[in-house]
Amino acid sequence: MKANMGSTDRIIRILLAVIMAALYFTGVVTDTLGIVLMVVAAVFALTSLISFCPLYPILGINTCGTKK
């Protein structure tokens, strides 16, 4: 897997994952929506850690900066 996520994209995804987890664990979001948010948060965190989003190649997106 070749990295296709830039640092800004990774930071935004981590922040969103933390916010989603905080909403779930504080009880603001519960039931099915809470579970869906936790799954999305886990996907965001995982893709941020490995710097690869499987949807980006399909959509032709690459937020990783050019390397010389």
Query: Above 90 in pLDDT, residue 21?
Result: yes
pLDDT value, residue 1:
81
pTM, full prediction: 0.87
Residue 3 near residue 53 (C-beta atoms within 8 A): no
pLDDT value, residue 67:
61
Cα–Cα dist 21/53, whole Å: 20
Q: What is the pLDDT of residues 41-60, one digit of tens each?
A: 999 999 999 999 999 999 99
Q: Which residues contact 47 (CB under 8 A, 6 or more apart)?
A: 5, 13, 53, 54
